[in-house]
Structure 1
Amino acid sequence: MSKKSASSSALRRPTMTDVAKAAGVSQSTVSMVLNNVEGARLAATTRARVLSVAMELGYRLTRRDPVLPAAQAQGVGGRRLVAYLVDELSTSVHPVQSVDGARDAAWQHDCVVSVAVTRGNPAQEAAAIEAFKSHPQLLGFVYSTIFTREVQIPASLAGVPTVLLNCHSAGFSGPVVVPSEVAGGHGATEYLLGKGHTRIAYINGEPWMEAAKDRLKGYRRALATHDIAFDPSLVQDGDWNMSSGYAAARELMRSERPPTAIFCANDLMAMGALDALHEQGIKVPDQVAVMGYDDQEMAQHTRPALSTALLPNYEMGRTALEALLEVARSDPSIKPGARARVLKIECPVVSRDSA
């Protein structure tokens, strides 16, 4: 670790992302251990390792800080209600991890989280908002989306403490929590450059999506930092699925000058790339290195284990909840013309065997 990174790490509070990275487990595993989730089937050695790493890093196992003076006087156990709106929950693990982060942080701050899945339906969204607003212990809203995009904030949220999670909106002046995607793409590419690779291919997701655009931007910036010209022939568009990673990797390896490393915009496409390389008898990482993005649970179990950049869904959920508590302490109104307070959560590289 460089002096600069060591210094910056010392200045900020350790997160579950830090514990997961140091312990070599997923964020969900860390959450289950540190929150002592009942019924979690985890090996004793895993629990011991997570707790040991958490103590070594100085992670605060309990954060029962007082939130609002009125909290102790209302409801069973003094807990307040946080309304969590999300457009989709069942089609991806990412929003589930964000809910977990918000729920854990809420419980430690004497609150409970209630989740409403709106499916992007305006009528369902409006009904959920009105139902939540009628609750006497409502603290505020976390308004979230399954993928990063611009949204139109419902007018009914005006004057109610609100935090945007994984989305943004013109004219919104409250906290906005999003992943630092450009830095994530830059960091993953920088990692491969640091391993001596100069011909690095990139398999993107659907190019219209903000995550795909930003990760590509980070890839290009890292190349430019090292005075390596951007080569469009090394970029393939995928669709986030394993099959597109497989097809793109085969296409890349058929070129006259194939890459020595392939950076994929998510883990599923990276797994497809691994399959394509294995099928062609190409050894990873000896002949071609592979890097993913997301750090899904399955990334630890590929052969070789997948190096990747972590999409910090859990920490984003925690941060959104803690930001909501800050808003609830102060003026919750949305001020016309005010700029949003954007909180970008880092996407660190998780080094494993494929790169």
Structure 2
Amino acid sequence: MATIRELAQYVGVSIATVSKVLNNQTGVSKETELLVLDAAKKLNYRPNLNARHLKTGTSKTLGIIAEDLTVFNTPDIIDGIGVCCESRSFHYILGNLRFDKLFGHESGNADQKNRLVLDMMDQMLSKQVDGIIYIGCHSHALTILSRNESTRFVCAYCYSEDPSIPAVIFDDREAAKKVTNLLLAKGHTKIGVVAGVKDSFHTNNRLFGIQESLYEHSVPYNPHFICYADWTRDQGYQCAAELLERGATAIFAMNDLMAMGVLDYCNQHGIEVGRDVALIGFDNREISSVCRPSLSTVALPLFEIGHTAASILLDMIENKEKTHPSRILLDCAIIERESTGFHSSLHQV
């Protein structure tokens, strides 16, 4: 593998000229540029990124710490980060904490999780990354991250308790409010809710949105129409039995897996979803469009979360004079399908 000096000798130009061509700088004729690029290809030239870092003070590389790559939200967020990095000539290194595989939905194990995060941060920083994007499995507060002069952080799908660290998440509360508005507009006032676990950021924000919508429409809030579950399909099935027995004519499940459990119960008990009861989920998982009836749901701006987080971090690295709020809320979209009684359509919320 050739060095930049060997490239210069091969073409018969100065090292400075080769450097300009390889770094897309001006001041070199088109003919010379083509000669250098052709030589780089023939001699199998690869840039020395460590040397470039020492010279420029930047590695042009981001670190991504994902709580778990297997959780549905993470791949699209990483895709958004990757597209942003590519557009601005940056690379990224990816680390996977495997939290969901190791701990599931458990809220404990804080010390063990913090040790894993710190170990991963050390690995990233040893590779001279210019900044780190931390991707959560779900929206929750991080106590382990802290901003300092040498390390730049941005949170995606979670947030830091340090207000100086930007966080990019989606607007749970507004999305749930719009879902409730939709069901009320269809004439439903007895809206059952298959909620997530009680201590979840998502659960509480979505309940606030539901209550806000009901209040604005002068519909009393009835806690008997709330059934707490653990985000699983089986729990959705159990909650469906309770909510329908209490007289719910519409059900809002706080994720698509629990909505599938509601659909299972209805199908087994001769209840036609979309006619006898309206049903809407959350997350727009792949199964929502292929089940029968197809499931109305809320689509999350996952790609946009990743792209926005990367854009903010790159602005920080490149010292661009831009100010960003400490917490950025992105809009979701309601996708209405057969389960709420209408054909497919898209509504921004």
Q: How many residues align?
A: 277
For residues 351 and 132 of structure 1, do their structure 2 counterparts lie closer, same or farther at Cα, with a shift above 3 Å needed?
same
Residues 173, 339 of structure 1: 8 Å contact kept: no
Which whole-Å CA distance do the structure 2 matches of 1:294 and 1:117 have between them? 22
User: 2:205 maps to which residue?
Assistant: 214
The one-letter code of the counterpart of 1:84 is: I
User: 1:81 maps to which residue?
Assistant: 61
> For each residue in 1:292-336, what CA deviation from the matched residue of structure 2 results, as whole angstroms up to 9, or x when unmatched?
00001111011111001112222211111111112222289xxxx
Relative CO higher for 1 or 2, CA cutoff 8 Å, sep ≥ 6?
1
For residues 243 and 157 of structure 1, do their structure 2 counterparts lie closer, same or farther at Cα, with a shift above 3 Å needed?
farther
* Displacement over 6 Å in runs of 4+: 76-79
For residues 278 and 171 of structure 1, do their structure 2 counterparts lie closer, same or farther at Cα, with a shift above 3 Å needed?
same
The one-letter code of the counterpart of 2:272 is: K
TM-score by length of 1: 0.72
Residues 178, 343 of structure 1: 8 Å contact kept: yes
Which whole-Å CA distance do the structure 2 matches of 1:294 and 1:108 have between them? 28
Which whole-Å CA distance do the structure 2 matches of 1:71 and 1:307 have between them? 49
Partner of residue 350 from structure 1, selected from 335, 339, 343: 335
SS of the counterpart of 2:127?
A: coil
State yes or no: 1:282 paired with 2:267.
no
Which whole-Å CA distance do the structure 1 matches of 2:155 and 2:268 have between them? 44
Q: How do residues 318-329 of structure 1 correspond to structure 2 at under 5 angstroms?
A: 318-329=307-318
* Uncovered stretches (5+) of structure 2, i.e. residues with no partner: 1-21, 26-45, 53-58, 100-111, 341-349
User: 1:108 maps to which residue?
Assistant: 87
> For each residue in 1:222-269, what CA deviation from the matched residue of structure 2 results, as whole angstroms up to 9, or x when unmatched?
1111110001111111111111111101111222xx111101000011
Which whole-Å CA distance do the structure 2 matches of 1:265 and 1:188 have between them? 11
> For each residue in 1:35-85, what CA deviation from the matched residue of structure 2 results, as whole angstroms up to 9, or x when unmatched?
xxxxxxxxxxxxxxxxxxxxxxxxxxxxxxxxxxx9868957998211011
User: 1:294 maps to which residue?
Assistant: 283
For residues 156 and 252 of structure 1, do their structure 2 counterparts lie closer, same or farther at Cα, with a shift above 3 Å needed?
closer
The one-letter code of the counterpart of 2:296 is: S
User: 2:195 maps to which residue?
Assistant: 204
Q: How do residues 127-166 of structure 1 correspond to structure 2 at under 5 angstroms?
A: 127-136=119-128, 138-155=129-146, 158-166=149-157
The one-letter code of the counterpart of 2:64 is: Y
State yes or no: 1:316 paired with 2:305.
yes
Residues 195, 227 of structure 2: 8 Å contact kept: yes
Which whole-Å CA distance do the structure 1 matches of 2:291 and 2:148 have between them? 44
User: 1:51 maps to which residue?
Assistant: none
The one-letter code of the counterpart of 2:330 is: I
The one-letter code of the counterpart of 1:203 is: V
State yes or no: 1:98 paired with 2:77.
yes
User: 2:249 maps to which residue?
Assistant: 260
Which whole-Å CA distance do the structure 1 matches of 2:317 and 2:253 have between them? 40
For residues 121 and 236 of structure 1, do their structure 2 counterparts lie closer, same or farther at Cα, with a shift above 3 Å needed?
closer
For residues 339 and 216 of structure 1, do their structure 2 counterparts lie closer, same or farther at Cα, with a shift above 3 Å needed?
same
Structure 1 residue 215: deviation in Å? 0.9
Residues 136, 156 of structure 2: 8 Å contact kept: yes
TM-score by length of 2: 0.73
Which whole-Å CA distance do the structure 2 matches of 1:71 and 1:294 have between them? 42
Residues 165, 178 of structure 1: 8 Å contact kept: yes
SS of the counterpart of 2:140?
A: strand
User: 1:194 maps to which residue?
Assistant: 185
Partner of residue 117 from structure 2, selected from 104, 114, 125: 125
The one-letter code of the counterpart of 1:246 is: Y
The one-letter code of the counterpart of 2:66 is: V
User: 2:170 maps to which residue?
Assistant: 179
Which whole-Å CA distance do the structure 2 matches of 1:288 and 1:173 have between them? 46
The one-letter code of the counterpart of 1:346 is: D
Aligned Cα root-mean-square deviation (Å): 2.7
Which whole-Å CA distance do the structure 1 matches of 2:287 and 2:263 have between them? 13
The sequence identity of aligned pairs, in percent, is 26
Structure 1 residue 158: deviation in Å? 4.8
Which whole-Å CA distance do the structure 1 matches of 2:151 and 2:133 have between them? 11
The one-letter code of the counterpart of 1:104 is: V
Residues 172, 340 of structure 1: 8 Å contact kept: no
Which whole-Å CA distance do the structure 2 matches of 1:158 and 1:150 have between them? 22
Which whole-Å CA distance do the structure 2 matches of 1:239 and 1:197 have between them? 25
Which whole-Å CA distance do the structure 2 matches of 1:72 and 1:341 have between them? 35
Quick check: which has more Rg, 1 or 2? 2
